[in-house]
Homo-oligomer: A and B are copies of this chain.
């Protein structure tokens, strides 16, 4: 059996998240339907991450096993022909046989980066509906950048995890980099880490927006983190602004990723 690693991207607006669900359209279901057509058999696909309803992915990986000898490039073209316009297959790599047993699209991930987009304007933007979160009051992006840097490091993030999540033994995650950048009316929060709890990035954004509203000041993110208290952190910012942006199978800072 060959193990193939597919790279894709999707606009999540229409989907009820990545994961297959009863009675709701998911990205995985649509991809699996395309895989069934191209590979003549319904193969399981194993995704690198869950994404919630309305969340986007600029980069997403899944692996699958197949006996079919279709070249990777041909598989990409064939899948794109079966997929709707909002899901794009970007590339396919065959995992070398000596590494295939150990490689897993989800468990082999070393780090991921998310981007959260805020449209900071009073003016409604019809091209960013479902693609960014509109914040109408003026946001000081430089202040948010300084606050975001307080997330960097290894912390217990239980205060930044939605109540709906299953109890996790380990709430400790390491954030390698975090920052906020403004380009015109668009503000982007970028955060890279070894893993993220349920809704963690969206709660980070909600907390940064408390700083934007003057309800938190520099140094307070550190205090909120230390409190381990969900109530101290901000709201869960809407899904539409969130993008899974980068998924790496190589330790942070090292070159030559698998893909």
Contacts and interface: CB of A to CB of B under 8 A. Distances in A.
Interface of A: 9-11, 56, 58, 80, 85-90, 123-127, 129-131
Contacts of A88: 123-126
Q: How many copies does the complex hold?
A: 2
Nearest to A124: B88
Contact of A86 (B9, B85, B90, B126): B126
A130 B85 contact: yes
A86 B130 CA distance: 10
A89 B125 CA distance: 9
A126 to B, nearest CB: 4
A10 B88 CA distance: 25
Given A85-B129, A129-B85, A123 B90 contact: yes
A126 B87 CA distance: 5
Contact of A126 (B11, B125, B126, B129): B11
Contact of A85 (B56, B89, B90, B126): B126
A51 to B, nearest CB: 13
A9 to B, nearest CB: 5
Nearest to A88: B124
21 contacts: A9-B125, A9-B126, A9-B127, A10-B126, A11-B126, A11-B127, A11-B129, A56-B127, A58-B127, A80-B124, A85-B126, A85-B129, A85-B130, A86-B126, A87-B126, A88-B123, A88-B124, A88-B125, A88-B126, A90-B123, A90-B124
Q: Among A10, A87, A127, A131, which residue has the most Cβ atoms of chain B within 10 A?
A: A127
B123 A86 contact: no
Contacts of A90: 123-124
Given A85-B130, A90-B123, 10 more contacts: A11-B126, A11-B127, A56-B127, A58-B127, A85-B126, A86-B129, A87-B126, A88-B125, A88-B126, A127-B131
Contacts of A56: 127
A126 B243 CA distance: 13
A103 B10 CA distance: 45
